[in-house]
Amino acid sequence: MINLQPYGNPMYFVYLLVGLLPLMIGLYFGKRFVVYQTIISAIFLLLIFGGSKWQQGLALIGYIVYQFIVVGGYAVYKRRANQTWVFVCTVILSIIPLVIVKITPAIQVGRQSLIGFLGISYLTFKSVQMVMEMRDGTIKKFDPIMFARFLLFFPTISSGPIDRYRRFQHDYIQIPDRKHYLQMLDKAVHYIFLGFLYKFILSYLFGTMMLPKIAHIAIMHREAFFHTGISLALVGYMYTYSMYLFFDFAGYSLFAVAASYLMGIETPMNFNQPFKAHNIKDFWNRWHMTLSFWFRDFIFMRLTFFIMKHRLIKNRKRIPQVAYLANFLIMGFWHGVTWYYIVYGLFHAGAIIINDYWLGFKKKHRQLPHNRLTEGIAIFITFNVVCFSFLIFSGFLNTLWFSAR
């Protein structure tokens, strides 16, 4: 059987368009062909997880059954009681499969866990938010079929963007009126072509053509600058990798959003011109937005709320600092259990804490100049701080410093 990775090549878009056409016609006439959508979704999922990836397919099925028991079980419990320890245990149970998948390669070098599959972390974000919102009472009813649709929504299953259940449910039930749907189609076409430019041209240029060459030169200079390997080529690697990372992921995200729009679901955007950010806080409101907003809403805000409500930390300035550290450390571990992902998380926590001090200083000294020049400087500094963090993230320093010579 064939295997087809999402948005992997231009042909995929032909299959996608053909497959979705009946659904699109239905939506144009104000109807969602639920049965057809279910069948076509199953086919596309089978293409991702079938063929040579059948083991992942089995892992996915097992995972879905497991999350149904955990999330559905919590929904049943929540009708009768609302104890904190049950909530905490449910969240832990919901995260455990992902934890196993992330820790396995760190313990047994190079081995991948058998229960892992492409997109497990994105499904975990979706499951955990269900539990948290049921705890808060903002999701009152557990609808197993809608939950399955939400988890298995194929345009975003492999790498997001991470949607929210209530938003998704609303779009699924409430079919956009014709004028609005046509606007969505218009945007979808635009996003697909922009995605082509990002993913198949720019990401290819930076990632496939330039990066290996620069990496090779940088490794040849690994003894440079007192054996640290700091060389012009390394700086070049930093910028090239940053460009590759952005265009690759932003390109993919545009495809995923466009495919969702065709299906009448307004999946949120993932990027908003991140390199224009004028400070780190601003950067996280523009970069991988659905992830950073998930972390903001389900980790940062909940943690600060908990700390303040129980007065665990007296000093008001320390509270967000502790929360930032926890937030970005968890984000680092989520990327993978390696020193460079964890340092990447700590680096961003440090950067955002320093940023907060600066914003506080600016608030106190309102006479500080603010003009286009200072803005330009701010964007320049932010851009370089971010690119340096991506150099850490890339893992290239690990190769440069620790791989066999």
Partner 1 sequence: MDTKQTVVDILKDLTGSDVSGNLDENLFDSGMIDSMATVELLLELQERFGIDVPVSEFDRSEWDTPNKIIAKVESMK
**Active-site residue numbers?**
335
Residue matched to tokens 């990372």: 245
Among 96, 302, 336, 399, binds partner 1 (CB under 8 A): 302
Q: Identify which range of 9-17, 84-92, 181-189, 303-311 contacts partner 1 by CB under 8 A.
A: 303-311
Q: Identify which range of 133-141, 152-160, 212-220, 388-396 contacts partner 1 by CB under 8 A.
A: 133-141
Among 132, 234, 245, 256, binds partner 1 (CB under 8 A): 132
Nearer CB in complex with partner 1: 59/323:
323
Among 26, 33, 133, 175, binds partner 1 (CB under 8 A): 133
Interaction mask 313-352, partner 1, x per CB under 8 A:
------xx--x-----------------------------
Could you tell me the smallest distance in angstroms from the CB atom of residue 300 to partner 1? 6
Q: How far apart are CA 213 and CA 209, in angstroms?
A: 7
Could you tell me the smallest distance in angstroms from the CB atom of residue 225 to partner 1? 39
Nearer CB in complex with partner 1: 221/278:
278
Q: Identify which range of 47-55, 149-157, 304-312, 388-396 contacts partner 1 by CB under 8 A.
A: 304-312
Interaction mask 263-282, partner 1, x per CB under 8 A:
------------------x-
Could you tell me the smallest distance in angstroms from the CB atom of residue 255 to partner 1? 26
Contact 262, 157 (CB under 8 A): no
CA nearest neighbour of 14 among 25, 4, 27: 4
Q: Is 301 in the site for partner 1 (CB under 8 A)?
A: yes
Task: Name residues contacting partner 1, limited to 170-209 (CB under 8 A).
Answer: none
CA nearest neighbour of 352 among 405, 286, 401, 279: 279
Provide the CA 54 distance to its chain's centre, in angstroms. 25
Binding site for partner 1 (CB under 8 A): 132-133, 136-138, 281, 296-297, 300-302, 304-305, 308-309, 319-320, 323, 359, 363
